[in-house]
Amino acid sequence: MTTPSQTEQPGLHAYVVDGGAPDPDELYEALSGPAVEIATGLRVADRRELGDLDLWLTLTEPGLSRVNMLGRHEGKAGPAQRRIAGLLPLGGLVRAASAGPFAVAAVSRAADRNRGAPFEAVVQGYGPGGAALAARLAGQATAWDGQGRPGTARVQLTVYPPGAEPVSAGGGLILPRPHASVFVGWPAMPVSADG
């Protein structure tokens, strides 16, 4: 379920796709500050493959909230709003302050002059805990690569109602969610013991 949350700044909207809604002021403050860029050590073929990595991280990090930011300038935009608008649209993972320092991290391409493909995938971190979260997700990118870079083209989803026992058919991830369990699998993908 998508829950819109408008920050105090007009024209900037955060849509929570999965997980708890972050505090709008903390989100705005984090994105207003400097970004830390952590290299994954991986080169990806194109934006679609970068999206596959983003999907993998979203699915394998159930303790984080998935947030998509949209917006535009409305009226006179201040420096922070102009900076955030330059990032948009932005999809990323958020760790609420209740679980440690507030952090936002988003998969992106490395900021280099070579705009061709393939390119290096990086994770950008924002907020007080942004660097640590970005480093953790960059490390998880290695697991995605080791699994054969599973992506949307071959993903298989099965949703189980509360109380039903998910069945792993051919390996995959079992993701417990508040109102369901989701089996996410890719052909020839081994089962994750920790879900």
Taking only the tens place, the pLDDT of each residue in 32-87 is 888 899 999 999 988 889 889 998 898 888 789 888 877 655 555 555 555 566 55
Residues 63 and 40 in one domain: yes
Task: Give the residue with greater pLDDT, 120 vs 178.
Answer: 120
Q: Mapping DSSP to helix (H, G, I), strand (E, B) and coil, where does residue 94 land?
A: strand
- The mean pLDDT value of the chain amounts to 78
Confidence grade of residue 5 (pLDDT, cut at 50, 70, 90): very low
Task: Give the residue with greater pLDDT, 42 vs 157.
Answer: 42
Residues 78 and 162 in one domain: no
Which token pair is 162? 């509360």
Residues 105 and 188 in one domain: no
Count of domains forming the chain: 2
Task: Give the pLDDT confidence score for residue 89 in this predicted structure.
Answer: 61
**Exposed e or buried b for every residue in 49-81, given b needs 16+ CB within 10 A?**
bbebbbbbbbbbbbebbbbebebeeeeebeeeb
What is the arithmetic mean of pLDDT over 119-126?
Answer: 91
Residues 22 and 115 in one domain: yes
Taking only the tens place, the pLDDT of each residue in 21-31 is 888 888 888 88
Residues 132 and 163 in one domain: no
Q: Among 54-63, 72-81, 98-107, 172-181, whose mean pLDDT is lowest?
A: 72-81
